[in-house]
Structure 1
Amino acid sequence: MNKRKKLGEILIEDSIVSEGQLMSALALQKKSGKMIGQTLIEHGYITEAQLVEAFRKKFSISYIDCDGVVVPEKFLKLVSMTMAVKKKILPTDVSGNTLFLAMVNPLDYSTIDEVKFLTGKNITPLLTTESSLMKAIEKNYGYCSIEKIWKPLNDIHLDGEMQFNLDKSIEFHKMEEEDESALRADDLYKIGEEPPIVKLVTLILVNAVKSRATDIHIEPHGKYVSVRYRIDGDLSTVLKISKTYQEAMTSRIKIISTMNITIRRMPQDGRSTVKYEGRMIDLRVSTIPSAHGETIVIRILDSVKGLIPLSKLGMPDNIIRDLLEMLNKPQGMLFVTGPTGSGKTTTLYSLLTQLSLESESVVTIEDPIEYELENIKQVPVNEKVGFTFAAALRSILRQDPDVIMVGEVRDSETAQISTKAALTGHLVLSSVHTNDTIATISRLRDLGIEP
């Protein structure tokens, strides 16, 4: 392959775009986050055919038309759906230790290096167009792109695929808001129980569980409602729904989460338990009002997917050995750090499963309890009645624990009590919401913990 030139340099050399057009596109790219080639196409500076021809002329890169490409499942598993959509790539074939990777930008060397690291295979990039690639991703991964119009909901058959455990005792006749334009409670309940809306919400949940998503973000905009899944820590848009469905979809989610459907200008929290493929899955639902309606976030707690053995977390063997050595110590504190969706709770649960539960007293303090574990005392926080992490921790210390897991250190009081417990004969496991381990030191100092 030629020396590593950037796409913009090639297009300028071939007089396909001017330097001014490239600079303009680069400025637009910083705001949109899209690839430079796609940005140039969207703003009419080049065509998709010109982009492909520029690559084929300058580099000895084979071209593949992804329309009609069917990828075996064993190859799809090499690259996650989230990564395929985000990086605009698709694994098409494997020969020996070489992975053939269809790419919209085969000069994206950082992506090539990342896939090589993740798969352990040599990468042969194949040039393709974005339009054919996205169709292939949609077909092979089951991804529903944001441009795709929602199929008529009455044609979808999902009967019996997911069952909701609803609280039938809830009454919906009382209005909680003084709003002349508000729908009456019985109207909201009625539209939330319409068969097409039931199918729509069920399909969103089913696809999320199948995609291993940990969270679903339903976000209203001016002309549409977007649905995003958080998979492997990254959010990606999987669906764009007509604004017409917003009110009904929000009501449906509130109904299954035992929320008050008439409250729309105040945040609410709810939960639901659903049965899917013979197993129970917890849903923790949060709503908050925004400029274009209520934003909804659904946390999916699937015990089958959530409880992962320590050996399956992708950690190097030497790191696992160090962790197990720390777990065998009689006292001390171990923090798991990282941003939202990075796997802090998953890691803590994996560590708990390594403990000797017959000879040790293990207590957890969680908000909320995400997965129930046998032979472990799990205590839920209830801040509404003043039972905070700090209050729970003080009470638990009188229960003769050997190991304490504090779901998250959020405040100075919890940090202080956790530290004292770790210095007085207890092993304390917890998490801190920081981007890396170095930032954790600063965070703890901010909470009053001195080195």
Structure 2
Amino acid sequence: MRRIKKTQIAEMLLEHQLITKEQLETAIAQQKTSDKKIGQILVDLGYVEENKFLELLARQLEIPFVDLKSYTLQPDLVKLLPEFYARHFRAIVLKREGDAYLIGMADPQNLLAYDEFERILKAKINTALIREDDLLTILDAMYRRSEEISHFAESLSAELKPSDIDIFSGTQDFSSDDMPVVNLLRSIFEDAVQINASDIHIEPGEKVLRIRLRVDGVLQEQIVEEKAITQALVQRVKLMSGLNIAEKRLPQDGRFSIKVKDKFLDVRVSTMPIQYGESVVMRLLDQSADILRLNQIGMPKEIFEYYSQLLTASYGLLLIVGPTGSGKTTTLYASLNELNKAEDKIITVEDPVEYRLPRINQVQVHSQIGLTFANVLRSVLRQDPDIIMIGELRDQETMEIALRSAMTGHLVLATLHTNDTISSMTRLLDMGAEGYLVASVLRAVIAQRLVRRICMKCITDATLSPPEITWLKSLKHNEYLNVNYKHGTGCTYCHRTGYLGRIGVYELLPMVPELADALRQQDSNKFQLLAEKQPLYRPLVLAGMDLATRGITTVQEIIRMSGEI
């Protein structure tokens, strides 16, 4: 690497006509009262674009310039450099190059760093120029939380005696000396909130404790080597949830509320005995978040308009179907948001009640004491409701009450665990529903899935793999073969995943007269043939491909989704 003096940088910028002499003089004058480098001052003043300046500087230094926003980092390599040195020298490990490491540096001319890096990494060092702001963002994301969690885990592990850490027997009292476990839990929750995780998984392994966070439907894993803390952590969660800490042989369910970074979380807890202790899963429900409106959940215009019209009906059944985690509850709550008016009485029957809605009477099912969906619904009908929302049609009795409620002047919204709109009819009949009754009250069925959105900060053209091309050809829709598809390369904003947030994929099947006739006849073949000819019907896979062709999601996500259909 060449050495470049401050005067050479100025001359270089002038030579390439990136700045004028007047701009340089202004920057030099400002530098007299600042500790910033001349290049940074020119960027701050808006005289030169930062990327152009850095690319030119890298060429003059004879090293590469690496844009961290579009560079895929390897966390295990990044962690080779302790946080203190990474921040002190403004550096990060980018990759292994034979017997050397490529280190990204905001100031590659800081020669003091080289000896330290070689001492720590025990290898030769090559350098690349990086943007300092991007580096600091990455260091915050990749070091801060994991270091905090590890620190609190080590503190807790140091406080536990060998007799306290048998994960198979015994109890422990955390009444006065449990600050480390509180700090550890707080750090885990703050990490989850920061990356918008929906679930926290605490899973003891044979030698380590795994903490996994589900983000946009996909788990991200962090290993904690201090497995000895498992019992303390699990018992603390069980105490907060009102569970029996002595019972480790049976699954338990509980809940608690917690405030994290100005967010009020309702936490649903499930424990289960596994081979190395107890697994804990915590579902995080943000009670401070606004309930989405129907026009905010990503429904295509034609489905939104048709479904919105159905919500104005005075009676009938609207079914939302899909597997667990497909966004059915979000669609139901968005629907209730549209229906929530002073002139209508709305009662919901849920397990659990996920979000509190003003003016709406929400009932929590409690099967252990006999408060089942069916039992609640019988009482609901005596409460003079206009609209009823049923969290799930779980059994024949609940389904029959829902159908008869829809027939007797109530608008009923419910969910069903089926894969698509057409198969939901077969499911209802298999559960014992009368075909004529379903045909009379069912207004429409919406099937849905959630797919991850491409991160708009690192979106770029995608090159499809041979298996992806083969899959596209199997759709027998040639319009999908010559499309400029997109994907995310991974950046600091999306935590290196290439995705940020999720969007719904929807399939609508209106219950038109000819479909109702086929249903009364219980002719499933005729029903399917007629359903596939409906103008508003578009299978989930094709609806998903519409999003992929628009650059909203990836072909890979649609393939993943199609595996569930």
TM-score range, shorter chain: 0.5 to 0.7
Q: Corresponding residue for 1:317?
A: 301
Structure 2 counterpart of 1:183, which letter? G
Instruction: Note if 1:283 corresponds to 2:267.
Output: yes
Structure 2 counterpart of 1:153, which letter? F
Q: Corresponding residue for 2:376?
A: 392
Q: Corresponding residue for 2:237?
A: 253
Q: Corresponding residue for 1:199?
A: 183
Residues 95-244 of structure 1: matches in 2 within 5 Å? Answer: 139=138, 142=141, 151-153=150-152, 182-186=169-173, 189=174, 194-232=178-216, 234-242=217-225, 243-244=227-228
2:253 aligns with one of 246, 266, 269: 269
| 8 A contact 1:213–1:231 mirrored in 2 | yes
C-alpha distance in structure 2 between counterparts of 1:145 and 1:196, whole Å: 17
Task: Pick which of 295-304 and 194-203 moved more.
Answer: 194-203
Give 5+ residue unaligned stretches, structure 1: 1-63, 77-83, 86-103, 105-131, 157-178
Summarize the Cα distance change of 1:67–1:339 in structure 2 as closer, same or farther, 3 Å threshold. Answer: farther
C-alpha distance in structure 2 between counterparts of 1:408 and 1:210, whole Å: 31
| 8 A contact 1:230–1:236 mirrored in 2 | yes
Summarize the Cα distance change of 1:344–1:403 in structure 2 as closer, same or farther, 3 Å threshold. Answer: same
* Secondary structure, counterpart of 2:289 in structure 1: helix
C-alpha distance in structure 1 between counterparts of 2:298 and 2:280, whole Å: 31
TM-score normalized with structure 1 length: 0.60
2:330 aligns with one of 343, 346, 349: 346
| 8 A contact 2:255–2:266 mirrored in 1 | yes
| 8 A contact 2:168–2:277 mirrored in 1 | no
| 8 A contact 1:362–1:401 mirrored in 2 | yes
Q: Corresponding residue for 1:126?
A: none
Root-mean-square deviation (CA, aligned residues, Å) is 3.6
* Secondary structure, counterpart of 2:298 in structure 1: coil
| 8 A contact 2:322–2:416 mirrored in 1 | yes
Q: Corresponding residue for 1:115?
A: none
Q: Corresponding residue for 2:360?
A: 376
Summarize the Cα distance change of 1:438–1:138 in structure 2 as closer, same or farther, 3 Å threshold. Answer: farther
Q: How big is each residue's C-alpha offset from its partner over 1:326-377, in whole Å with a ceiling of 9 and x where there is no partner? A: 1001111111222222211111111101015211111101112111111111
TM-score normalized with structure 2 length: 0.49
Q: Corresponding residue for 1:303?
A: 287
1:446 aligns with one of 409, 430, 436: 430
Structure 1 position 213, deviation (Å): 1.9
Structure 2 counterpart of 1:273, which letter? S
C-alpha distance in structure 2 between counterparts of 1:316 and 1:261, whole Å: 48
Q: How big is each residue's C-alpha offset from its partner over 1:52-78, in whole Å with a ceiling of 9 and x where there is no partner? A: xxxxxxxxxxxx98977157xxxx9xx
Residues 15-30 of structure 1: matches in 2 within 5 Å? Answer: none
Structure 1 position 414, deviation (Å): 0.6
C-alpha distance in structure 2 between counterparts of 1:154 and 1:184, whole Å: 19
| 8 A contact 1:149–1:240 mirrored in 2 | no
Summarize the Cα distance change of 1:382–1:347 in structure 2 as closer, same or farther, 3 Å threshold. Answer: same
Structure 1 position 245, deviation (Å): 2.1
C-alpha distance in structure 2 between counterparts of 1:276 and 1:253, whole Å: 15
| 8 A contact 1:227–1:239 mirrored in 2 | yes
Q: Corresponding residue for 2:403?
A: 419
Q: Corresponding residue for 2:278?
A: 294
Structure 1 position 274, deviation (Å): 0.9
* Secondary structure, counterpart of 1:270 in structure 2: strand
Give 5+ residue unaligned stretches, structure 2: 1-62, 76-94, 96-129, 156-165, 436-518, 520-565
Q: Percent identity?
A: 39
Structure 1 counterpart of 2:268, which letter? R
Structure 1 position 221, deviation (Å): 2.2
| 8 A contact 1:147–1:240 mirrored in 2 | no
Summarize the Cα distance change of 1:180–1:325 in structure 2 as closer, same or farther, 3 Å threshold. Answer: closer
C-alpha distance in structure 2 between counterparts of 1:326 and 1:300, whole Å: 32
C-alpha distance in structure 2 between counterparts of 1:305 and 1:214, whole Å: 13
